[in-house]
């Protein structure tokens, strides 16, 4: 049988040459992806052995390596990169934030908070730093405090998409579905053509479980499907929503609703069968799934 190394071929990042490492790191920066292991392994070689080849880009790479190295537990490399940046840019707030990350990674949260508070006193509108406070509260499991902090941030930065998304997640984890729904409504208003916003909103409405919220769920799963017909999640969501609506005792009397729901259910069922037709193992399971609940 194959060795571990053979099976794991290509799965563990390996440094090959400085140019492709540099290009890979560039792509990851551009797309804002979280590929910490790859960045840490490739970046470490770049900053330690090929710094002179990178020109001015070397500092951005140092900055990029720090959170990635911390993510995989390589504090040594992160510290080294921070020291180099601190030496080059001694008074920089941008670098000070990285010092905060180092403290957070060591779970020295009080020291990190003190550092961030210090920065905010001099730069009260520094959004990135304000967000670090929320992450510390999250890390400590202080969800309510994190929510309060985020609300304060949103009062100033009303259009910050990341904050609305984060707040929605926090509310969901606290089962405050109505409040989560409000946040997602803001996101839909900001970007009505993004199917993800409608899909997420529909999932939250579904979780609330009332007839009204299920109707909202049906509407938004449908919108998400219109915007992205390939979304399997929205298709299942619509199917489940209508299944619940059609078996709901309150609605059973209303003929119009019954007919509409039956129409939608037969559509979603045939769409699901179609999606799985080329995958025999799955299609058997899906066939049985479609038979349940009726």
Residues in contact with other proteins by CB under 8 A are 1, 4-5, 7-8, 11-12, 34, 71, 107, 138-141, 172-173, 175, 200, 202-204, 206-207, 209, 217, 232-233, 236-237, 240-241, 275-276, 279, 281-282, 284-286, 288-289, 292-293
Could you give the CA distance from residue 132 to residue 149 in angstroms, rounded to a whole number? 10
Q: How far is the CB of 207 from other proteins (least distance, A)?
A: 5
DSSP secondary-structure letter at 157? -
In the complex with other proteins, the residue whose CB is nearer, 71 or 257, is 71
Collapse the DSSP code of 98 into the 3-class scheme (helix H, G, I; strand E, B; otherwise coil) and give the result. Answer: helix
CB of 121 to other proteins, least distance (A): 28
Distance between CA atoms of residues 262 and 256, nearest Å: 10
Measure the CA–CA gap between 201 and 199, rounded to whole angstroms. 5
Find the helix or strand (DSSP H, E) in which 254 lies.
Answer: none
Between residues 82 and 276, which has the closer beta carbon with respect to other proteins?
276
Tokens at 65, concatenated: 């390596």
Residue 33 or 139: which CB sits closer to other proteins?
Answer: 139
Q: Which is nearer to other proteins, 47 or 70 (CB)?
A: 70
CB of 7 to other proteins, least distance (A): 6
Distance, in Å, from the CA atom of 2 to the CA atom of 11, rounded to the nearest integer, reads 15
Q: Are 58 and 21 in contact (CB under 8 A)?
A: no
CA–CA separation, 108 and 127 (whole Å): 21
CB of residue 247 to other proteins, shortest distance in Å:
13
Shortest Å distance, C-beta 263 to other proteins: 20
Nearest distance, CB of residue 246 and other proteins, angstroms: 15
Neighbours of 39 (CB within 10 A): 27
> With respect to other proteins, which residue has the nearer C-beta, 115 or 242?
242
Q: What span, in angstroms and rounded, lies between the C-alpha atoms of 237 and 225?
A: 10
């Amino acid at each position: 049988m194959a060795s571990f190394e053979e099976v794991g071929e290509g799965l563990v990042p390996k440094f090959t040459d400085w140019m492709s490492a540099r290009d890979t790191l560039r792509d990851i920066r551009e797309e804002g992806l979280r590929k910490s292991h790859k960045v840490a392994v490739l970046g470490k070689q770049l900053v330690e052995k090929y710094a002179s080849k990178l020109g001015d880009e070397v500092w951005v790479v140092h900055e990029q390596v720090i959170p990635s190295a911390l993510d995989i537990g390589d504090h040594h490399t992160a510290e080294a990169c921070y020291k180099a940046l601190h030496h080059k840019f001694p008074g920089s707030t941008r670098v000070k934030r990285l010092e905060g990350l180092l403290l957070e990674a060591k779970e020295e949260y009080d020291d990190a908070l003190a550092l961030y508070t210090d920065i905010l006193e001099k730069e009260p509108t520094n959004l990135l730093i304000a967000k670090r406070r929320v992450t510390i509260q999250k890390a400590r499991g202080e969800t309510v405090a994190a929510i309060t902090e985020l609300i304060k941030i949103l009062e100033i930065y009303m259009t910050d998409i990341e904050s609305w998304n984060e707040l929605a997640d926090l509310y969901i984890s606290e089962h405050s579905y109505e409040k989560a729904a409000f946040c997602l409504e803001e996101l839909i208003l900001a970007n009505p053509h993004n199917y993800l916003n409608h899909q997420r909103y529909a999932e939250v409405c579904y979780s609330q479980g009332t007839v009204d919220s299920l109707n909202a769920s049906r509407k938004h799963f449908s919108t998400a499907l219109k915007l992205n017909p390939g979304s399997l999640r929205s298709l299942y969501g619509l199917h489940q929503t209508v299944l619940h609506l059609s078996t709901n005792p309150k609605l059973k009397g209303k003929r119009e609703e019954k007919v509409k729901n039956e129409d939608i259910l037969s559509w979603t069922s045939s769409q699901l069968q179609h999606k799985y037709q080329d995958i025999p193992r799955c299609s058997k399971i899906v066939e049985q799934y479609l038979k349940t609940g009726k």
